[in-house]
Amino acid sequence: MQTSKQNIHRQNDTFQSNFFQEPKKRHLLNDSICGKKVDLDFNGGNVTSDAGALLLSEIEQQIGIIRSLSENIKETRRSYSISHSISEIIGQRVYQIACGYEDANDSNMLRADPAIKMAVGRLPQEGLDLASQPSISRLENRVSRRDLVRAAYAFVDNFIASYEEIPEVIVLDFDDTDSTVHGHQQMALFNSYYGNYCYMPLHVYEGISGKFITAVLRPGKRSSGGETVSYLKRIVRRIREKWADTIIVFRGDSHFSSPELFEYVDRQNNIFSITGLSTNNILLEQVQTTIKTGKALYEKRQTEVKLYHSFYYQAGSWSQSRKVVAKVELSEKGLNVRFISTDMLQAKARVLYENIYCARGNMELRIKDHKTYTKSDRSSCHSFSANQFRLFLHSAAYVLLYTLRTQLLKGTELANATIDTLRLKLLKLGARVVELKTKIKVHLPDSYPFKHLLKKCFDVVDYVKHHSNIIQMC
Protein backbone atom coordinates (compact mmCIF):
# COMPACT_ATOMS: atom_id res chain seq x y z
CA MET A 1 0.00 0.00 0.00
CA GLN A 2 2.84 2.35 0.90
CA THR A 3 4.60 1.52 -2.37
CA SER A 4 1.41 2.23 -4.33
CA LYS A 5 1.09 5.70 -2.73
CA GLN A 6 4.73 6.44 -3.51
CA ASN A 7 4.19 5.49 -7.14
CA ILE A 8 1.17 7.80 -7.38
CA HIS A 9 3.11 10.72 -5.90
CA ARG A 10 6.01 10.01 -8.25
CA GLN A 11 3.68 10.01 -11.25
CA ASN A 12 2.11 13.30 -10.15
CA ASP A 13 5.52 14.90 -9.72
CA THR A 14 6.57 13.69 -13.17
CA PHE A 15 3.37 15.05 -14.74
CA GLN A 16 3.76 18.44 -13.07
CA SER A 17 7.41 18.78 -14.01
CA ASN A 18 6.60 17.91 -17.63
CA PHE A 19 3.51 20.13 -17.81
CA PHE A 20 4.94 23.25 -16.22
CA GLN A 21 8.25 23.24 -18.03
CA GLU A 22 8.68 25.87 -20.74
CA PRO A 23 8.70 23.98 -24.05
CA LYS A 24 9.28 25.72 -27.32
CA LYS A 25 5.89 24.60 -28.54
CA ARG A 26 2.80 22.91 -27.08
CA HIS A 27 -0.44 21.79 -28.70
CA LEU A 28 -3.49 22.99 -26.78
CA LEU A 29 -5.60 19.89 -26.10
CA ASN A 30 -5.16 18.86 -29.75
CA ASP A 31 -8.07 21.14 -30.61
CA SER A 32 -8.27 23.11 -33.79
CA ILE A 33 -9.92 26.28 -35.04
CA CYS A 34 -11.26 26.09 -38.57
CA GLY A 35 -9.00 23.12 -39.20
CA LYS A 36 -5.85 24.75 -37.82
CA LYS A 37 -4.15 23.51 -34.69
CA VAL A 38 -3.38 25.97 -31.92
CA ASP A 39 0.18 26.03 -30.56
CA LEU A 40 1.41 27.78 -27.45
CA ASP A 41 5.04 28.77 -26.98
CA PHE A 42 7.20 31.20 -25.04
CA ASN A 43 8.94 32.83 -28.00
CA GLY A 44 6.97 36.06 -28.16
CA GLY A 45 9.96 38.24 -27.40
CA ASN A 46 10.27 40.97 -24.80
CA VAL A 47 6.60 41.43 -23.86
CA THR A 48 4.98 43.32 -20.97
CA SER A 49 1.46 43.11 -19.62
CA ASP A 50 1.68 46.57 -17.98
CA ALA A 51 2.48 48.99 -20.79
CA GLY A 52 0.31 51.59 -19.07
CA ALA A 53 3.19 52.16 -16.66
CA LEU A 54 4.74 54.28 -19.40
CA LEU A 55 1.75 56.63 -19.16
CA LEU A 56 2.20 56.89 -15.40
CA SER A 57 5.86 57.68 -16.00
CA GLU A 58 4.84 60.60 -18.21
CA ILE A 59 2.53 61.87 -15.46
CA GLU A 60 5.35 61.57 -12.93
CA GLN A 61 7.58 63.76 -15.11
CA GLN A 62 4.99 66.51 -14.76
CA ILE A 63 4.03 66.28 -11.08
CA GLY A 64 7.27 64.83 -9.66
CA ILE A 65 5.79 63.07 -6.61
CA ILE A 66 8.25 60.14 -6.85
CA ARG A 67 11.13 62.55 -7.36
CA SER A 68 10.10 64.57 -4.30
CA LEU A 69 9.85 61.46 -2.12
CA SER A 70 13.25 60.24 -3.28
CA GLU A 71 14.96 63.55 -2.64
CA ASN A 72 13.74 63.52 0.95
CA ILE A 73 15.09 60.05 1.80
CA LYS A 74 18.71 60.27 2.91
CA GLU A 75 21.14 57.89 1.19
CA THR A 76 23.09 55.91 3.80
CA ARG A 77 24.51 53.10 1.63
CA ARG A 78 28.11 52.85 0.49
CA SER A 79 28.39 54.41 -2.96
CA TYR A 80 30.40 51.52 -4.42
CA SER A 81 27.73 48.97 -3.44
CA ILE A 82 24.72 50.75 -4.99
CA SER A 83 23.11 49.05 -7.97
CA HIS A 84 19.70 50.69 -7.66
CA SER A 85 19.26 54.31 -6.62
CA ILE A 86 16.61 55.35 -4.10
CA SER A 87 14.69 57.03 -6.92
CA GLU A 88 14.68 53.83 -8.97
CA ILE A 89 13.57 51.66 -6.05
CA ILE A 90 10.77 54.02 -5.05
CA GLY A 91 9.70 54.47 -8.67
CA GLN A 92 9.68 50.72 -9.25
CA ARG A 93 7.59 50.13 -6.15
CA VAL A 94 5.11 52.93 -6.87
CA TYR A 95 4.55 51.88 -10.50
CA GLN A 96 4.05 48.28 -9.43
CA ILE A 97 1.48 49.31 -6.81
CA ALA A 98 -0.35 51.44 -9.37
CA CYS A 99 -0.46 48.45 -11.77
CA GLY A 100 -1.91 46.17 -9.10
CA TYR A 101 1.19 44.56 -7.57
CA GLU A 102 0.84 45.78 -4.01
CA ASP A 103 3.29 43.47 -2.23
CA ALA A 104 7.05 43.88 -2.14
CA ASN A 105 7.40 40.19 -3.03
CA ASP A 106 5.94 40.95 -6.45
CA SER A 107 9.16 42.77 -7.30
CA ASN A 108 10.96 39.45 -7.74
CA MET A 109 8.67 38.56 -10.65
CA LEU A 110 8.79 42.01 -12.24
CA ARG A 111 12.51 42.77 -12.12
CA ALA A 112 12.86 42.27 -15.87
CA ASP A 113 9.51 43.73 -16.95
CA PRO A 114 10.37 46.06 -19.85
CA ALA A 115 7.61 48.62 -19.14
CA ILE A 116 8.51 49.03 -15.46
CA LYS A 117 12.21 49.27 -16.36
CA MET A 118 11.48 51.99 -18.91
CA ALA A 119 9.24 53.82 -16.44
CA VAL A 120 12.13 54.18 -13.98
CA GLY A 121 14.55 55.17 -16.74
CA ARG A 122 16.33 51.91 -17.57
CA LEU A 123 16.69 50.28 -20.97
CA PRO A 124 14.18 47.44 -21.38
CA GLN A 125 16.70 44.81 -22.53
CA GLU A 126 20.25 46.02 -22.00
CA GLY A 127 19.46 47.77 -18.72
CA LEU A 128 20.19 46.08 -15.40
CA ASP A 129 17.20 44.32 -13.88
CA LEU A 130 15.28 46.19 -11.20
CA ALA A 131 15.52 45.72 -7.44
CA SER A 132 14.41 42.53 -5.73
CA GLN A 133 12.24 42.24 -2.64
CA PRO A 134 15.17 42.22 -0.16
CA SER A 135 16.50 45.50 -1.60
CA ILE A 136 13.07 47.11 -1.29
CA SER A 137 12.55 45.80 2.25
CA ARG A 138 15.95 47.12 3.33
CA LEU A 139 15.00 50.58 2.06
CA GLU A 140 11.65 50.47 3.87
CA ASN A 141 13.31 49.53 7.16
CA ARG A 142 16.19 52.01 7.12
CA VAL A 143 14.07 55.14 6.55
CA SER A 144 14.45 57.44 9.56
CA ARG A 145 11.81 59.48 11.35
CA ARG A 146 13.34 62.66 9.93
CA ASP A 147 13.06 61.20 6.43
CA LEU A 148 9.38 60.48 7.04
CA VAL A 149 8.68 64.04 8.21
CA ARG A 150 10.31 65.42 5.06
CA ALA A 151 8.37 62.94 2.93
CA ALA A 152 5.08 64.04 4.53
CA TYR A 153 5.89 67.64 3.67
CA ALA A 154 6.71 66.53 0.11
CA PHE A 155 3.07 65.50 -0.35
CA VAL A 156 1.84 68.83 1.01
CA ASP A 157 4.25 70.70 -1.30
CA ASN A 158 3.02 68.62 -4.25
CA PHE A 159 -0.55 69.58 -3.37
CA ILE A 160 0.35 73.26 -3.24
CA ALA A 161 2.25 73.09 -6.55
CA SER A 162 -0.77 71.52 -8.26
CA TYR A 163 -2.58 74.88 -8.33
CA GLU A 164 -1.93 77.24 -11.22
CA GLU A 165 -3.35 80.16 -9.26
CA ILE A 166 -3.69 80.78 -5.54
CA PRO A 167 -7.12 79.48 -4.48
CA GLU A 168 -9.48 81.73 -2.55
CA VAL A 169 -10.77 78.87 -0.39
CA ILE A 170 -9.60 75.36 0.39
CA VAL A 171 -11.23 72.73 2.62
CA LEU A 172 -9.07 70.39 4.71
CA ASP A 173 -10.99 67.13 5.13
CA PHE A 174 -9.67 65.02 8.02
CA ASP A 175 -10.74 61.43 8.57
CA ASP A 176 -9.23 58.13 9.68
CA THR A 177 -9.78 54.51 8.72
CA ASP A 178 -8.79 51.12 10.07
CA SER A 179 -5.82 49.14 8.78
CA THR A 180 -6.01 45.64 10.23
CA VAL A 181 -2.71 43.97 11.15
CA HIS A 182 -1.97 40.25 11.36
CA GLY A 183 1.28 40.08 13.28
CA HIS A 184 3.25 41.88 15.97
CA GLN A 185 3.55 45.30 14.37
CA GLN A 186 4.82 48.10 16.53
CA MET A 187 2.14 50.40 17.98
CA ALA A 188 -0.76 48.30 16.69
CA LEU A 189 -3.63 48.38 19.20
CA PHE A 190 -6.86 46.48 19.69
CA ASN A 191 -9.82 48.59 18.61
CA SER A 192 -13.13 47.44 20.10
CA TYR A 193 -15.19 49.17 17.39
CA TYR A 194 -13.49 47.22 14.59
CA GLY A 195 -12.86 44.15 16.74
CA ASN A 196 -9.26 43.74 15.56
CA TYR A 197 -5.72 44.82 16.18
CA CYS A 198 -5.12 47.64 13.76
CA TYR A 199 -3.60 50.95 12.86
CA MET A 200 -5.81 53.98 12.23
CA PRO A 201 -4.08 56.10 9.59
CA LEU A 202 -5.25 59.70 9.25
CA HIS A 203 -6.08 60.83 5.71
CA VAL A 204 -6.20 64.47 4.65
CA TYR A 205 -7.73 65.60 1.33
CA GLU A 206 -8.78 68.93 -0.13
CA GLY A 207 -12.55 68.84 -0.02
CA ILE A 208 -13.37 70.92 -3.11
CA SER A 209 -10.95 69.43 -5.64
CA GLY A 210 -10.46 66.03 -3.99
CA LYS A 211 -6.68 66.34 -4.16
CA PHE A 212 -4.60 64.25 -1.78
CA ILE A 213 -2.67 66.22 0.84
CA THR A 214 -1.08 63.66 3.16
CA ALA A 215 -1.63 60.48 5.19
CA VAL A 216 -0.23 59.78 8.66
CA LEU A 217 0.00 56.30 10.13
CA ARG A 218 -1.32 56.18 13.68
CA PRO A 219 -1.86 53.59 16.43
CA GLY A 220 -5.23 51.85 16.40
CA LYS A 221 -7.20 54.43 18.38
CA ARG A 222 -9.00 57.69 17.80
CA SER A 223 -6.78 60.76 17.70
CA SER A 224 -6.99 63.20 20.59
CA GLY A 225 -7.74 66.88 20.07
CA GLY A 226 -4.12 67.84 20.73
CA GLU A 227 -2.85 65.26 18.23
CA THR A 228 -5.21 66.51 15.52
CA VAL A 229 -4.09 70.09 16.13
CA SER A 230 -0.44 69.07 15.84
CA TYR A 231 -1.06 67.70 12.33
CA LEU A 232 -3.23 70.65 11.34
CA LYS A 233 -0.60 73.15 12.50
CA ARG A 234 2.07 71.61 10.30
CA ILE A 235 -0.15 71.56 7.23
CA VAL A 236 -1.39 75.12 7.76
CA ARG A 237 2.13 76.40 8.36
CA ARG A 238 3.30 74.88 5.07
CA ILE A 239 0.31 76.26 3.17
CA ARG A 240 0.71 79.74 4.65
CA GLU A 241 4.28 79.92 3.34
CA LYS A 242 2.80 80.07 -0.18
CA TRP A 243 -0.81 81.20 0.33
CA ALA A 244 -0.95 83.85 3.04
CA ASP A 245 -4.53 84.98 2.40
CA THR A 246 -6.31 81.80 1.34
CA ILE A 247 -9.33 80.95 3.47
CA ILE A 248 -8.88 77.53 5.07
CA VAL A 249 -11.84 75.48 6.33
CA PHE A 250 -11.25 72.48 8.58
CA ARG A 251 -13.93 69.79 8.16
CA GLY A 252 -14.37 66.56 10.09
CA ASP A 253 -16.92 64.35 11.81
CA SER A 254 -17.94 64.50 15.47
CA HIS A 255 -14.81 62.97 17.00
CA PHE A 256 -12.80 65.94 15.71
CA SER A 257 -14.97 68.34 17.79
CA SER A 258 -12.44 69.05 20.50
CA PRO A 259 -11.73 72.17 22.57
CA GLU A 260 -8.08 72.07 21.44
CA LEU A 261 -9.12 72.29 17.80
CA PHE A 262 -11.62 75.09 18.39
CA GLU A 263 -9.11 77.14 20.40
CA TYR A 264 -6.47 76.78 17.69
CA VAL A 265 -8.89 77.79 14.91
CA ASP A 266 -10.17 80.78 16.92
CA ARG A 267 -6.63 82.16 17.20
CA GLN A 268 -5.93 82.02 13.46
CA ASN A 269 -6.78 84.44 10.68
CA ASN A 270 -8.88 83.18 7.78
CA ILE A 271 -9.29 79.70 9.26
CA PHE A 272 -12.73 78.27 10.02
CA SER A 273 -14.07 74.91 11.06
CA ILE A 274 -17.18 72.81 10.60
CA THR A 275 -17.48 69.52 12.44
CA GLY A 276 -20.08 67.03 13.51
CA LEU A 277 -21.33 67.24 17.10
CA SER A 278 -22.38 64.32 19.29
CA THR A 279 -25.97 64.45 20.52
CA ASN A 280 -26.70 65.15 24.18
CA ASN A 281 -29.75 66.11 26.23
CA ILE A 282 -28.93 69.83 26.30
CA LEU A 283 -28.78 69.95 22.51
CA LEU A 284 -32.04 68.00 22.20
CA GLU A 285 -33.80 70.47 24.49
CA GLN A 286 -32.90 73.27 22.09
CA VAL A 287 -34.77 71.63 19.21
CA GLN A 288 -37.94 70.35 20.92
CA THR A 289 -40.07 72.99 19.20
CA THR A 290 -38.59 72.07 15.81
CA ILE A 291 -39.24 68.38 16.51
CA LYS A 292 -42.89 69.07 17.36
CA THR A 293 -43.30 71.13 14.18
CA GLY A 294 -41.71 68.35 12.13
CA LYS A 295 -43.99 65.68 13.60
CA ALA A 296 -47.08 67.75 12.84
CA LEU A 297 -45.97 68.30 9.24
CA TYR A 298 -45.19 64.62 8.77
CA GLU A 299 -48.60 63.54 10.07
CA LYS A 300 -50.22 66.01 7.70
CA ARG A 301 -48.16 65.30 4.55
CA GLN A 302 -47.16 61.65 5.11
CA THR A 303 -43.92 62.35 3.28
CA GLU A 304 -40.40 62.91 4.52
CA VAL A 305 -39.92 66.16 6.43
CA LYS A 306 -36.54 67.83 6.92
CA LEU A 307 -36.16 70.97 9.05
CA TYR A 308 -33.13 72.98 10.16
CA HIS A 309 -32.60 75.11 13.22
CA SER A 310 -29.53 77.04 14.40
CA PHE A 311 -28.62 78.32 17.85
CA TYR A 312 -25.56 79.06 20.00
CA TYR A 313 -24.17 76.52 22.42
CA GLN A 314 -21.13 76.25 24.69
CA ALA A 315 -19.95 72.96 26.15
CA GLY A 316 -18.23 73.01 29.51
CA SER A 317 -14.78 72.48 27.98
CA TRP A 318 -15.16 75.15 25.27
CA SER A 319 -13.66 78.60 25.78
CA GLN A 320 -16.59 80.30 24.03
CA SER A 321 -19.95 79.54 22.44
CA ARG A 322 -20.27 78.28 18.88
CA LYS A 323 -23.00 78.17 16.29
CA VAL A 324 -24.80 74.84 16.17
CA VAL A 325 -27.01 73.67 13.31
CA ALA A 326 -29.58 70.94 13.98
CA LYS A 327 -31.14 68.80 11.27
CA VAL A 328 -34.51 67.33 12.27
CA GLU A 329 -35.65 64.63 9.86
CA LEU A 330 -38.85 62.60 10.05
CA SER A 331 -39.72 59.74 7.74
CA GLU A 332 -41.23 56.28 7.81
CA LYS A 333 -38.08 55.18 9.62
CA GLY A 334 -38.76 57.56 12.50
CA LEU A 335 -37.03 60.61 13.97
CA ASN A 336 -33.43 61.46 13.09
CA VAL A 337 -31.72 64.45 14.75
CA ARG A 338 -28.14 65.44 13.87
CA PHE A 339 -25.96 68.35 14.96
CA ILE A 340 -22.96 70.17 13.54
CA SER A 341 -20.80 72.93 15.02
CA THR A 342 -19.22 75.82 13.12
CA ASP A 343 -17.78 79.31 13.44
CA MET A 344 -19.07 80.38 10.01
CA LEU A 345 -21.75 82.68 11.35
CA GLN A 346 -23.06 84.27 8.15
CA ALA A 347 -24.10 81.14 6.26
CA LYS A 348 -27.65 79.81 6.55
CA ALA A 349 -28.38 76.62 8.45
CA ARG A 350 -29.46 74.53 5.46
CA VAL A 351 -26.45 75.63 3.37
CA LEU A 352 -24.06 74.84 6.22
CA TYR A 353 -25.43 71.36 6.67
CA GLU A 354 -26.34 70.19 3.18
CA ASN A 355 -23.85 72.02 0.95
CA ILE A 356 -20.81 72.35 3.21
CA TYR A 357 -20.84 69.63 5.88
CA CYS A 358 -22.46 66.79 3.92
CA ALA A 359 -19.96 67.25 1.09
CA ARG A 360 -17.38 65.59 3.33
CA GLY A 361 -19.01 62.30 2.36
CA ASN A 362 -16.97 62.41 -0.84
CA MET A 363 -13.89 61.81 1.27
CA GLU A 364 -15.17 58.33 2.07
CA LEU A 365 -14.93 57.51 -1.62
CA ARG A 366 -11.37 58.84 -1.80
CA ILE A 367 -10.31 56.77 1.18
CA LYS A 368 -11.97 53.77 -0.47
CA ASP A 369 -9.94 54.34 -3.63
CA HIS A 370 -6.76 54.76 -1.60
CA LYS A 371 -7.34 51.77 0.65
CA THR A 372 -9.20 49.31 -1.57
CA TYR A 373 -7.63 49.85 -4.98
CA THR A 374 -4.02 50.69 -4.07
CA LYS A 375 -4.12 48.26 -1.10
CA SER A 376 -2.66 50.86 1.24
CA ASP A 377 -3.50 48.72 4.29
CA ARG A 378 -0.57 46.36 3.57
CA SER A 379 1.10 47.15 6.91
CA SER A 380 3.02 43.89 7.31
CA CYS A 381 6.39 45.30 8.45
CA HIS A 382 7.26 44.98 12.13
CA SER A 383 8.62 48.52 12.33
CA PHE A 384 6.12 51.37 12.64
CA SER A 385 8.38 53.64 10.56
CA ALA A 386 8.58 51.07 7.76
CA ASN A 387 4.80 50.82 7.67
CA GLN A 388 4.51 54.62 7.51
CA PHE A 389 6.90 54.62 4.55
CA ARG A 390 4.79 51.96 2.86
CA LEU A 391 1.73 54.16 3.35
CA PHE A 392 3.60 56.95 1.54
CA LEU A 393 4.48 54.62 -1.37
CA HIS A 394 0.83 53.66 -1.79
CA SER A 395 -0.13 57.34 -1.48
CA ALA A 396 2.25 58.24 -4.32
CA ALA A 397 0.58 55.59 -6.50
CA TYR A 398 -2.80 57.06 -5.58
CA VAL A 399 -1.66 60.56 -6.59
CA LEU A 400 -0.54 59.29 -10.02
CA LEU A 401 -3.81 57.44 -10.61
CA TYR A 402 -5.93 60.33 -9.35
CA THR A 403 -4.11 62.69 -11.71
CA LEU A 404 -4.69 60.28 -14.58
CA ARG A 405 -8.43 60.26 -13.91
CA THR A 406 -9.05 63.93 -13.12
CA GLN A 407 -6.70 65.58 -15.61
CA LEU A 408 -5.91 63.30 -18.53
CA LEU A 409 -9.34 61.66 -18.72
CA LYS A 410 -11.40 64.76 -18.04
CA GLY A 411 -14.47 64.80 -20.29
CA THR A 412 -14.14 61.13 -21.30
CA GLU A 413 -16.20 58.07 -20.44
CA LEU A 414 -13.63 57.19 -17.74
CA ALA A 415 -13.66 60.58 -16.02
CA ASN A 416 -15.55 59.11 -13.04
CA ALA A 417 -14.27 55.54 -13.24
CA THR A 418 -12.87 53.72 -10.25
CA ILE A 419 -9.12 53.22 -10.01
CA ASP A 420 -9.67 49.51 -10.58
CA THR A 421 -11.40 50.28 -13.89
CA LEU A 422 -8.59 52.62 -14.95
CA ARG A 423 -6.05 49.92 -14.18
CA LEU A 424 -7.95 47.29 -16.14
CA LYS A 425 -8.54 49.43 -19.23
CA LEU A 426 -5.43 51.62 -19.45
CA LEU A 427 -2.61 50.08 -17.42
CA LYS A 428 -2.99 46.32 -17.90
CA LEU A 429 -2.01 46.60 -21.53
CA GLY A 430 0.06 44.00 -23.37
CA ALA A 431 2.86 45.26 -25.61
CA ARG A 432 5.99 43.97 -27.32
CA VAL A 433 9.09 46.04 -26.62
CA VAL A 434 11.95 46.08 -29.11
CA GLU A 435 15.18 47.83 -28.19
CA LEU A 436 17.13 48.98 -31.25
CA LYS A 437 20.42 50.81 -31.50
CA THR A 438 18.95 54.32 -31.59
CA LYS A 439 15.35 53.84 -30.44
CA ILE A 440 12.93 51.71 -28.46
CA LYS A 441 9.74 50.52 -30.15
CA VAL A 442 6.66 49.63 -28.13
CA HIS A 443 4.19 47.66 -30.24
CA LEU A 444 0.63 47.81 -28.85
CA PRO A 445 -2.15 45.45 -29.99
CA ASP A 446 -4.13 46.38 -33.09
CA SER A 447 -7.28 45.18 -31.32
CA TYR A 448 -6.82 47.33 -28.19
CA PRO A 449 -10.34 48.79 -27.62
CA PHE A 450 -9.29 51.95 -25.75
CA LYS A 451 -6.60 53.23 -28.08
CA HIS A 452 -8.49 56.52 -28.49
CA LEU A 453 -8.31 57.16 -24.74
CA LEU A 454 -4.65 56.21 -24.51
CA LYS A 455 -3.81 58.47 -27.42
CA LYS A 456 -5.73 61.34 -25.80
CA CYS A 457 -3.81 60.88 -22.54
CA PHE A 458 -0.44 61.01 -24.27
CA ASP A 459 -1.57 64.02 -26.30
CA VAL A 460 -2.48 65.89 -23.10
CA VAL A 461 0.87 65.05 -21.51
CA ASP A 462 2.71 66.12 -24.65
CA TYR A 463 0.81 69.42 -24.69
CA VAL A 464 1.69 70.08 -21.07
CA LYS A 465 5.35 69.39 -21.77
CA HIS A 466 5.44 72.09 -24.42
CA HIS A 467 3.19 74.57 -22.58
CA SER A 468 4.40 74.18 -19.00
CA ASN A 469 4.37 77.93 -18.53
CA ILE A 470 0.64 77.98 -19.28
CA ILE A 471 -0.72 74.77 -17.75
CA GLN A 472 0.34 72.88 -14.65
CA MET A 473 -0.73 69.33 -14.05
CA CYS A 474 -2.77 68.41 -10.96
The tens digit of pLDDT for each residue in 225-273 reads: 999 999 999 999 999 999 999 999 999 999 999 999 999 999 999 999 9
Position 181 in a domain: yes
**What is the domain extent for residue 437?**
47-139+386-466
Distance CA 48, CA 9 (A): 36
In this prediction, residue 468 carries a pLDDT of 47
Position 426 in a domain: yes
Q: Are residues 164 and 128 in the same domain?
A: no
In this prediction, residue 466 carries a pLDDT of 62
pLDDT at 106 over 80: yes
Q: Are residues 171 and 299 in the same domain?
A: yes
Find the distance separating the first CA and the last CA of the chain, reported in whole Å.
Answer: 69
Q: What is the pLDDT of residues 320-372, one digit of tens each?
A: 999 999 999 999 889 999 999 999 988 899 999 999 999 999 999 999 999 99
Helices (H), strands (E): how many in the chain? 17, 16
Position 326 in a domain: yes
Q: Are residues 61 and 11 in the same domain?
A: no
pTM of the prediction? 0.89
Local confidence band at 25 (pLDDT 50, 70, 90 cut-offs): low
CA distance to 62, 71, 110, 450, per residue, from 455 (Å): 17, 31, 26, 9
List CB contacts of 311: < 8 A, sequence separation 6 or more.
Answer: 286, 323, 324, 326
Position 474 in a domain: no
Mean pLDDT of 158-167: 95
Position 167 in a domain: yes
Q: Are residues 176 and 126 in the same domain?
A: no
Q: Are residues 197 and 330 in the same domain?
A: yes
In this prediction, residue 474 carries a pLDDT of 33
Position 473 in a domain: no
Q: Are 463 and 471 in contact (CB under 8 A)?
A: yes
Q: Are residues 310 and 240 in the same domain?
A: yes
Position 283 in a domain: yes
Q: Are residues 33 and 172 in the same domain?
A: no
Q: Are residues 454 and 403 in the same domain?
A: yes
Q: What is the pLDDT of residues 168-201, one digit of tens each?
A: 999 999 999 999 998 889 999 999 999 999 999 9
Local confidence band at 40 (pLDDT 50, 70, 90 cut-offs): confident
Q: Are residues 226 and 191 in the same domain?
A: yes
pLDDT at 469 over 60: no
The count of structural domains within the chain is 3
Sign of the alpha-carbon torsion through 116, 120, 126, 132: negative
In this prediction, residue 24 carries a pLDDT of 54
Domain boundary among 352, 373, 394: 373
Q: Are residues 114 and 8 in the same domain?
A: no
List CB contacts of 66: < 8 A, sequence separation 6 or more.
Answer: 60, 87, 90, 91, 94, 396
Q: Are residues 354 and 284 in the same domain?
A: yes
Question: If DSSP codes are grouped into helix, strand and coil, which group holds residue 365?
Answer: helix
Position 240 in a domain: yes
Q: Are residues 149 and 298 in the same domain?
A: yes
268-274-278 Cα angle (round to 5): 125
